[in-house]
Chains A and B, each alone.
Chain A
Amino acid sequence: MKKFDKIIIVTLLLISLISIIVLKMPKENSQGEKYVVIYVNRELYKKISLMDNNLDKTFKIETEFGYNIVQIKNGGVNIIDADCPDKYCVTDGFIDQPGQMLVCLPHRLVIEIKGTSNNDELVPDEISY
């Protein structure tokens, strides 16, 4: 262990710890509307409002890459089963805060929770469906 080694370890640890703390900080505007947005292969697949906490819905997203079973419950979302090899999307568990996301890379699936603050990014509106 030489001088530069210690500098590298300390700086990298600081960078990662600080960014984890910043990411874990609660978002101020989490009171507004909440949406779950699902992208498959870069394209918007589904947009569901999470305002109703009693909404209980389970559906299967089937693509050329495989399937993922998505469950919407208690104002959050969870992938309960998938046929991808690593199953990280399943072990990532339940998310219900705006900004959180579930990713299944082998299936090119991204599930994001968005709040009203970044509503502008939601391109198609309800009428599109």
Chain B
Amino acid sequence: MTQTKKIVYIALLVAQALVLHIVERMIPINLGIPGAKLGLANIITLVSLYIFNFKDCFSIVIIRTALANFLAGSLSSFLFSISGGILSLIAMYEIKKIGKENISVIGVSIFGAVFHNIGQILIAAMIIQNLRITVYLPFLMISAIATGFFVGIVVKFLLKYLRAI
């Protein structure tokens, strides 16, 4: 992939992540658990993980969380998404390396979604200086398994077409 093509590709992925972020905010879905959401923007992180190397994925995650929170968000929501985003990226990268042929994009997605929640809970515990908030984690994990599963399926179909480009 040439340098120019790569830059265009990254810009496109970031723009799509921003649209997904805004669309997700419009969906009035309440899973009944504080902090639980669909995680549509994780589609972009997953796609980039299968196309680019770790360094490029990292910059995509940073740019998309920063821009998304400039558009709609606040400093604390930025802290939550960046900690969750980076932790889930590292987790997905490692599990993909360990699993190799034995793991599909669905497993990677679920693993990343769960680690996204772990990152968020850790930041929340730091902000309020109270570790008891981790009692929310099991509930968040169950929602992450479900949403991560569907995000994984979406990416599986998406990659089939993207690989042709």
Residues of A participating in the B interface, judged by any CB pair closer than 8 Å: 1-5, 8-9, 12-13, 15-17, 19-20, 23, 39, 42, 86, 88, 91-92, 99, 101, 103, 105-106, 108, 110, 112
Compute how far the CA of A42 lies from the CA of B127 in the bound complex, rounded to whole angstroms: 8
The tally of residues in B whose CB lies under 8 Å from a CB in A reads: 29
Q: Which residue of A lies closest to B141 (CB)?
A: A16
B145 contacts A106, CB within 8 Å? no
Compute how far the CA of A2 lies from the CA of B137 in the bound complex, rounded to whole angstroms: 26
Compute how far the CA of A15 lies from the CA of B149 in the bound complex, rounded to whole angstroms: 17
* Chain B residue contacts of A23, Cβ below 8 A: 135, 138
Residues of B participating in the A interface, judged by any CB pair closer than 8 Å: 32, 34, 76, 95, 99, 101-104, 106-107, 110-111, 114, 124, 127-130, 132-133, 135, 137-139, 141-142, 145, 149
A101 contacts B132, CB within 8 Å? yes
Compute how far the CA of A2 lies from the CA of B149 in the bound complex, rounded to whole angstroms: 13
Pick the contact of B129 from A9, A42, A91 — CB < 8 Å? A42
B142 contacts A13, CB within 8 Å? yes
A106 contacts B110, CB within 8 Å? no
Can you add 17 more A-B contacts, CB < 8 Å, to A1-B106, A2-B103, A101-B133? Answer: A1-B104, A4-B95, A4-B99, A5-B106, A5-B110, A8-B95, A8-B103, A9-B145, A12-B145, A16-B142, A39-B130, A42-B129, A91-B32, A99-B132, A101-B132, A106-B76, A112-B132
